[in-house]
Structure 1
Amino acid sequence: MLDATTLLFGLPGLQVVNVTKQSDGTRIIDAVTDEDIAGACPRCGVFSTSRKQRTTTTPKDAQYGDGRIIVRWTKTRWRCREDYCARATFTDSLEQIPARARTTGRLRDQMGAAIGDAARSVTEVAAAHFVSWPTAHRAFVTHADARLTEPAPVRALGIDETRRGKPRWEQRADTGKWVRVDPWDTGFVDLDGNQGLLGQAEGRTTKTVVDWLSARTPEFREGIEYVAIDPAAVYAKAVRTPGLLPNAVLVVDHFHLVQLANTAVTKVRRRVTWELKDRRGGKVDPEWANRRRLLTGRERLSHKNFTRMWNALIDEDPSGQILAAYIGKEEMRTLLSTVRLGGDPHLTRHRLHNFFDWCADSDIPELLTLATTVETWWPEINAFLRTGITNARTEGYNRLVKTVKRSACGFRNRKNSARRIRFHSTRTQRAAEHQISC
């Protein structure tokens, strides 16, 4: 029967023989190997009775309370007397403390969960448990690799990029010229299920997407029915690669279209200010004071604020270009709102005609450019109006990716960075699997 101290210590295979406390609060736990398992050869399994010497090891263990705990394990080096066994000598080992281990299994599990599940930095966890950075990171790698799996087939796939680090200058070895390297990562997100971030690939080119998708199984590629992107030609080209995604329909996210419309309004406002005043706008200028209202949807503006903005810009801009750009932006939003009505084809054609007609009649360069973009991407925009599939979940994971990058304090090894980002971006999947198993 185990004594109370050994039971409280709770490390299977070790018996506590003494506990001392030092002046700085550190507690030293002296332990020996349980007699029932001592002397078992790890190779042949036969118990030995030939002791060679005693040795002491101090594996680091999980902390209890605020004070530090040091485990001092006195174990025996045995001789294996079996003729058929190639092992000459061995020391006691436990499942929690294998041979040559410097940390206990429960400490490694605790550090892996602290870094992975609690999103703490490796440096912080290593300092809290009195271990080195590589030891804490190896614990997380083991913790993450045991839980991360190959992505299962998805119905809707989201693709978007995030910046990885700051731009830097590198010298080409072949030409000797200095070139600007702008590091980006392309993320792939499950838009229809709970798998979260399926993976990341370095770069934001057509080849980046093609290579990542080609590495997946044929069942994965054939199961994709929709791919949501922002209006990026490189991603569209990759998705349209013959034979890569035979059943996929390309969808352009409406958020980026509204962003393009808002950008057009801002460009018109700035250009008109320079033309009228030969300077940039300031707080004394009505068009600058109403810059936020110009980017706000009409339904979100009160009647008072809308009237104030409208009257101020009529008096300030004789050409009426700023308000014309604002109306063009609202026509774009009205067109995109057709998705709430199920993408009715007749209503879609009517609103698309109104948008194109307004942009053409205004003869404003920025609106003509916006109309050209809509015309170029219209099949993909129409797919959004019919399906309602957006890249909103991808944008959410982009925010999470940036948070993880900050807490990771600058991973230089891209593989380590990608592992940690994906682990944090698959919490929903693991939580769902845990509920099913319970």
Structure 2
Amino acid sequence: MRWWKTRYRCRNDECDRATFTDRIREVPARRRTTTRLRTQIGRDIGENARSVAEVAAAAGVSWPTAHAAFVEHAEQVLTAPTPVRVLGIDETRRGKPRWVRDATGRRWVRVDPWDTGFVDISGDQGLLGQVEGRTTAAVTSWLTTQSEAFRNSITHVAIDPAAAYAAAATAVLPNAQVVVDHFHLVKLAGDAVTAVRRRVTFDARGRRGRKQDPEWANRRRLLTSRERLSDKSFARMWNDLIDHDTTGQILTAYIAKEQLRHLLAAARDNADTHEVRARLYAFYTWCADADLPELTRLATTIEAWWPAILAFIDTGITNARTEGLNRLVKQVKRVACGFRNTENSRRRIRFHCTRTQRASIQQFHC
């Protein structure tokens, strides 16, 4: 539908406006598109996660018009974050690394773009906001811009083992306790097993692992938890490494990984304090007796983060919801094909990462 708006001119020389046009509720002044069309464009971009260029082409409007419609639609929905009890912090990459000139213009500096996201783990607000960078200063700047009631309401902060995030949470949030996500700890143990396997293979054969090498053929089983392996598969891995790895270092690292998993499983088993201490002592003793640099480094990391690990065992809080929203963040970045304006990117990402909660709330009110 096309509507020809009539422009009128006032003949009074003292009139300030001089000209004016027709206007109705669906077509306000200085608008060439209807409110209904702009609302539909905003929903197609936000709710359906479609690119602005695709929706603009389908509606027959320009890219700025379609994006402005989405901004209007998003501002009606997105509000300032309300106080939360458990805050999740994690980073996502915002593009490929680039090389740029430094301030003096003499040297090339590698720029690795990252965005840090803040997620409501205990509630249904989804992604609360984003900030550029993954440093202590970046996290501190976002937290200080929030209200004092927001900061005081946070009791726990779930993070991966990142010293920058832990330092910011300790400095800005007076009532918060840092909780380390157990998934990243198990990954560190798996990385230690992989490092031992590669080192043993290179020392024995002078090359990287190949298909005919038993330790390389069992690399997946080494990273799989014991309860997920069948008895036959576990026996095959164990016997192959016993027969071909004379040093026994690979199985030693595998046992250390399983002992760390057994320690973290105390959160699921509701183990008491004495049981937790016994499992921790068994893990430390095994790593110390093994005298492997990879296991020593792993045990040192666990010791450094033990207060946050103990908080996970006591509360069972994880960063799973934050990791799930990271997947949506990456999906929006792929659909948008790279926003150059970081404000537009953050608005789009936050809108998409909270639309599931909004849809359920609207359905409930209906």
- TM-score (normalizing by structure 2): 0.96
Aligned to 1:141: 71
| Higher relative contact order structure (alpha carbons within 8 Å, sequence separation ≥ 6) | 2
What letter is aligned with 2:130?
Q
Aligned to 2:93: 163
Q: Partner of 1:227: helix, strand, or coil?
A: strand
**In structure 1, how many angstroms separate the alpha carbons of the residues matched to 2:163 and 2:228?**
33
Structure ID, larger Rg? 1
- C-alpha distance 404-75 of structure 1, shift in aligned 2 (>3 A): closer
Aligned to 1:254: 182
Aligned to 1:233: 163
- TM-score (normalizing by structure 1): 0.81
Q: Which moved more, 1:102-111 or 1:203-212?
A: 102-111
Flag structure 1 segments of 5+ consecutive residues without an equivalent: 1-69
Indicate yes or no: 2:262 matched with 1:328. no
Are the aligned partners of 1:194 and 1:428 in contact in 2 as well (CA < 8 Å)? no
Q: Partner of 2:260: helix, strand, or coil?
A: helix
Q: Partner of 2:265: helix, strand, or coil?
A: helix
**In structure 2, how many angstroms separate the alpha carbons of the residues matched to 1:336 and 1:406?**
35
Indicate yes or no: 2:356 matched with 1:431. no
- Post-superposition Cα deviations, 1:389-436, rounded to whole Å, max 9, x if no partner, equal 001111111111111100111111111101000000112331243134
Q: Partner of 1:240: helix, strand, or coil?
A: helix
- C-alpha distance 398-74 of structure 1, shift in aligned 2 (>3 A): closer
Aligned to 1:224: 154
**In structure 2, how many angstroms separate the alpha carbons of the residues matched to 1:351 and 1:402?**
38
Aligned to 1:115: 45
- Post-superposition Cα deviations, 1:114-172, rounded to whole Å, max 9, x if no partner, equal 00000001111111111111111111111111110000000000011111100000102
**In structure 2, how many angstroms separate the alpha carbons of the residues matched to 1:96 and 1:78?**
20
Indicate yes or no: 2:177 matched with 1:177. no
Aligned to 1:201: 131
Aligned to 1:275: 203
What letter is aligned with 2:303?
E
Are the aligned partners of 1:122 and 1:133 in contact in 2 as well (CA < 8 Å)? yes
Q: How does 1:11-410 map to 2 (within 5 A)?
A: 70-71=1-2, 73-78=3-8, 86-241=16-171, 244-410=172-338
- Post-superposition Cα deviations, 1:352-401, rounded to whole Å, max 9, x if no partner, equal 01101111111111011100110111011000000000011111111111
**In structure 2, how many angstroms separate the alpha carbons of the residues matched to 1:424 and 1:149?**
14
Aligned to 2:344: 416
What letter is aligned with 1:158?
G
Are the aligned partners of 1:343 and 1:386 in contact in 2 as well (CA < 8 Å)? no
**In structure 2, how many angstroms separate the alpha carbons of the residues matched to 1:252 and 1:343?**
18
**Identity fraction in percent:** 66
**In structure 2, how many angstroms separate the alpha carbons of the residues matched to 1:357 and 1:75?**
83
**Hey, which of these two has a bigger chunk of strand by percent?**
1
Q: Partner of 1:315: helix, strand, or coil?
A: helix
**Hey, which of these two has a bigger chunk of helix by percent?**
2
Q: Count residues with an aligned counterpart.
A: 366
Q: Partner of 1:93: helix, strand, or coil?
A: coil
Are the aligned partners of 1:163 and 1:183 in contact in 2 as well (CA < 8 Å)? yes
**In structure 2, how many angstroms separate the alpha carbons of the residues matched to 1:190 and 1:411?**
25
Query: Following TM superposition, by how much is the alpha carbon of 1:277 offset from its aligned partner in structure 2, in angstroms?
Result: 0.3
- C-alpha distance 76-421 of structure 1, shift in aligned 2 (>3 A): closer
Q: Which moved more, 1:102-111 or 1:417-426?
A: 102-111
**In structure 2, how many angstroms separate the alpha carbons of the residues matched to 1:188 and 1:395?**
11
Query: Following TM superposition, by how much is the alpha carbon of 1:80 offset from its aligned partner in structure 2, in angstroms?
Result: 5.9
- C-alpha distance 75-305 of structure 1, shift in aligned 2 (>3 A): closer
Q: Partner of 2:130: helix, strand, or coil?
A: strand
Query: Following TM superposition, by how much is the alpha carbon of 1:176 offset from its aligned partner in structure 2, in angstroms?
Result: 2.1
- C-alpha distance 204-343 of structure 1, shift in aligned 2 (>3 A): farther
What letter is aligned with 2:154?
I
- Post-superposition Cα deviations, 1:248-283, rounded to whole Å, max 9, x if no partner, equal 011111000000000000000000000000000011
**In structure 1, how many angstroms separate the alpha carbons of the residues matched to 2:258 and 2:30?**
68
